[in-house]
Structure 1
Amino acid sequence: MNRVVRLFTAGAALALAAAVQMAPTATAAETAACGVSAPDRDTRSYGQYFTQDVYLRNGPGWECDIIGQATTANNVDYHCTTGGFTYLRTASTKYGWVYNGYLVNGGTNVQC
């Protein structure tokens, strides 16, 4: 009886280890860190690209801290996009990440 219990326990442990190993891993966009900047890969010129007043965040995600604000009157230089957010610079030299839904035509299509 003891041997059956030990075999069952060992089998359950192996099954659990296999399940953990096969768990899906997060994509780069899902694990993007807050507190990051991005290179200026989009070469288009400054323009008024905000569809509404926006918050600038310190990373490409809603969980990232708000570090500034910008209005529809601000001219903007897109840098690149990842995970549904675009990294940009305003003409007043504020940098940050903005949700693509708040940008004309959904932001840049140039990936970071």
Structure 2
Amino acid sequence: MATKEATQRRSSRIRRQIKAVSNGRPRLSVHRTSKNIYVQVIDDAKGHTIAAASTLEKDFKAGKKTGADTAAAAAVGKLVAERAVKAGVKEVVFDRGAYIYHGRVKALAEAAREAGLSF
């Protein structure tokens, strides 16, 4: 079982690597819980969120049973990619946080790539 300190250490290590290779690109940040998934496109230079999506949105909840499966993660990935492209962002760096690139995180990333984001 991972402790809070280990999770924070892992997350900060990933964030440090991302900042080294970002070249001014916005960050696609993922947060996953046992029931939902949240994603934001963040411009770290300005400290602003460009686009965001989650499984808690009203129009999303109407069509899905749960927010805790890969289908829901893929739908959120597609939604955030469409919003980011509409805002003028096509290239991002992927910040998976302390989560491994597998399951819902992977489904979200692949759906975002298919919807037009490049990372």
TM-score category (smaller protein): under 0.3
From the CA coordinates, give the structure whose radius of gyration is larger. Answer: 1
**Highest relative contact order (Cα 8 Å, sep 6+), 1 or 2?**
2
Q: Which has the higher helix share?
A: 2
Give the TM-score normalised by the residue count of structure 2: 0.24
